[in-house]
Structure 1
Amino acid sequence: MLSSYSGKMCWTNKLLVSVLFTVAFDNVYGSVEGLYCGKDNCYEILAVEKDSTKSEITKAYRQLAKKWHPDMHKTEKMKKEASEKFQEIANAYEILKNEDSRNDYDYLLDHPDEFYYNYYRYYKTRTAPKVDVRIVIAVTITVISVVQYYGAWSNYQSAIGYLCKEQKYRLQATNIAKERGLFPVAKKKDGRRSKEEIREEEEAIIKDIVEENLDIRGGYRKPTYQDVLWIQLVFFPYYLLAYIHWYARWIWKFTISRQEYGTEEKLYLIRKYLKLSSNQFDALEEHERDDYMHKELWIKEKFTAWKEKQEAELMSKRAESGRYRMIRRYMKKGGPGQMTFGPE
């Protein structure tokens, strides 16, 4: 049994050595089965030299492709042979016409002993994306810009539609339309129109007046070209330099020179302390910003005191709220996740 087992092991070792020797032998001569042109030389297939230009390679390919095209032969045997030859020619041309794959193949010919590295270069070129990365980035930014602008425009239209239905603004817009004589003209313009068509025109007039007179700010404001990602990226260097200039000016005026804050600077500090974005702060009512200015909330100490007072009032209101007390009692008893083990 031991002798039989040893014989099998010896045969396996010989087979392994034979395979490794075959692979190493092929690699030494720059030919690996499954890579590039296999055991054949791509330059020899096209009958060109290693230093041939791209135009010479293309010319040789066209001549051979015309000669070995299956349609140029009549018998089935010749067609089959020509088809195989035509595929070899096309494969060799695909490798040599591309600069990257040709460089990889030349490296294989010059460094046949670097077996694994040649495999890596081959599959890296084959699996690399065919589309220019710059095109992918440009298309991605364009899609984001379109979606971004469409979303902002949809928000703006939603805000206009809501305000048109709001009784307060709708009544004001109706009065303005009557003062301008828009409704009577719309009704007398064509007597053959239906009430539905007249109503739709009146709604359009109201919408135009609401859009004309209301200053919608924040996330629902009317989008501009500056909100598009492409424009923001193009003007990013300008925005960056403007911010550096603004910051340096701030340090010089208010930290070094100790000058007093202007209205713009005071509003900026208030917004910063409130932790609101520019759009969120612009969306506040005018009287709210005036109240913050009146209370001098740009001063850190006054803002901190005001904030603590606001939180205390909020906690007091919650404590007085019957619903809040009920929730607190419910949570104190264990809430929805209470669990007991056995009798208490």
Structure 2
Amino acid sequence: MSTPPHRWIAVAAFALFLAFPPTFAIYCDEDDCYDLLGVSQSANSSEIKKAYYKLSLKYHPDKNPDPESRKLFVKVANAYEILKDETTREQYDYAIAHPEEVFYNTARYYRAYYGHKTDTRAVLVGLLIVISAFQYLNQWTRYTQAISMVKKTPAYKNKLKALELERKGGVGNKKKGQKQSDKNIEEGLDKELELQIKGAEKPSFWGLLAVQFLLLPYTLSKLLLWKGAWFWRYQVKKAPYSWDDACYLTQRSLRVAPDAWGNIDESTKEDLVQRHLWEKPNMDNYVADMRKEWKRRR
């Protein structure tokens, strides 16, 4: 005959109660906070305060030389810290009334006693520093790996040889002490090429999350100022778009990255800007033309 489910639940609850001490014990150890102060659970804040001052004078180490008085004084002071605050007192009363809710009461206790002691600003600063450190390390690792791969390509090696011949005046002979010179040439080539690989750029101090967070007020104010100037110039005064602003609108309409836009030749840029692609009808016509062109080439 199987055991009813409710009996298993009762057994589990009883086992849990035996395995863990009552959670109200984490407040004043094995003592009752109210008993330590000599007040009832219904005592008001004034009575609790009065009882504490009376006991603190009795057990304070400066007043009572008995070694046990110091231990009692610490217990009394701890009980007062718990009961003088409405929040912690409410939590303690709840733990007394519901000793079976072990994990819930324990979590409330540690959140109350340790959560508020940590300065949120310090936590935020520490978190930003840690994230920025990992961000920099990750970007530097990706950058060095990408550079290492580029140096293995034939294009890089050919460029290195060309630069070496250029610096040596077209003479390609090798001498005994030439290794250091070759190393210097390669280091110089790294600087001249200014290798920037998309997705693995060299890490920058200004790109770190912590720095961007510190500069956030400046960035927002600058953005608002730019938005205000844009609104005044083109919405209120109805002025024609400048070349740079028209390029920006075109680039945004085409969803082209800034570096990709910079690689487009000037004649193509001028043709795209003159189409006024930031206006929806013009953009729709341009997309239709591109589709026709693509089908024609197929």
Give me the TM-score of the superposition, normalised by structure 2.
0.61
> In structure 2, what is the Cα distance between the partners aligned to 1:132 and 1:263?
50
1:152 and 2:139 equivalent? Answer: yes
1:127 and 2:127 equivalent? Answer: no
What's the offset of the Cα at 1:159? 3.7
Matches within 5 A, 1:1-344: 36=28, 37-38=31-32, 39-42=34-37, 50-51=52-53, 60=60, 67-68=67-68, 90-96=74-80, 102=81, 104-107=82-85, 115-116=93-94, 124-128=108-112, 129=115, 130-181=117-168, 188=175, 190=177, 198=179, 202=182, 205-206=185-186, 208-214=188-194, 216=196, 218-276=198-256, 280-284=257-261, 286-287=263-264, 291-296=268-273, 297-299=275-277, 300=279, 301-314=281-294
Q: Is the CA contact (8 Å cut-off) linking 2:60 and 2:73 kept in structure 1? A: no
What's the offset of the Cα at 1:252? 1.6
Matched AA of 1:155: R
What's the offset of the Cα at 1:188? 5.0
> In structure 2, what is the Cα distance between the partners aligned to 1:272 and 1:138?
35
Deviation string 1:127-184 (CA, Å, 9 cap, x unpaired) is 3335333332222211211122223323333443343333334322332233334999
Unmatched segments (≥5 aa) in structure 2: 1-23, 40-49, 98-103
Q: Is the CA contact (8 Å cut-off) linking 2:60 and 2:70 kept in structure 1? A: no
- Identity, % of aligned pairs? 18
> In structure 1, what is the Cα distance between the partners aligned to 2:287 and 2:239?
26
> In structure 2, what is the Cα distance between the partners aligned to 1:149 and 1:253?
40
> In structure 1, what is the Cα distance between the partners aligned to 2:107 and 2:65?
26
Deviation string 1:23-76 (CA, Å, 9 cap, x unpaired) is xxxxxxxxx8775440522489xxx96348xxx78x9368879814xxxxxxxx
Matched AA of 2:52: K
> In structure 2, what is the Cα distance between the partners aligned to 1:33 and 1:144?
39
Matched AA of 1:50: Y
Deviation string 1:72-111 (CA, Å, 9 cap, x unpaired) is xxxxxxxxxxxxx987655444455xxxxx1x41257xx9
> In structure 1, what is the Cα distance between the partners aligned to 2:71 and 2:246?
76
Q: Is the CA contact (8 Å cut-off) linking 2:37 and 2:51 kept in structure 1? A: no
> In structure 2, what is the Cα distance between the partners aligned to 1:165 and 1:33?
67
Q: Is the CA contact (8 Å cut-off) linking 1:253 and 1:259 kept in structure 2? A: yes
Matched AA of 2:252: K
SS of residue matched to 1:41: helix
What's the offset of the Cα at 1:118? 9.1
Unmatched segments (≥5 aa) in structure 1: 1-31, 69-84, 97-101, 192-197, 321-344
Aligned length: 245
Q: Is the CA contact (8 Å cut-off) linking 1:145 and 1:230 kept in structure 2? A: yes
Matched AA of 2:254: L
Structure with bigger RCO (C-alpha 8 Å, 6+ apart)? 2
User: Measured at CA, do residues 95 and 209 of structure 1 come closer, stay the same or move farther in structure 2, by a change above 3 Å?
Assistant: farther
Q: Is the CA contact (8 Å cut-off) linking 1:218 and 1:281 kept in structure 2? A: no
Superposed CA RMSD in Å reads: 4.6
Matched AA of 1:133: T
Deviation string 1:277-335 (CA, Å, 9 cap, x unpaired) is xxx32145623575233332543344432222334445667xx5xxxxxxxxxxxxxxx
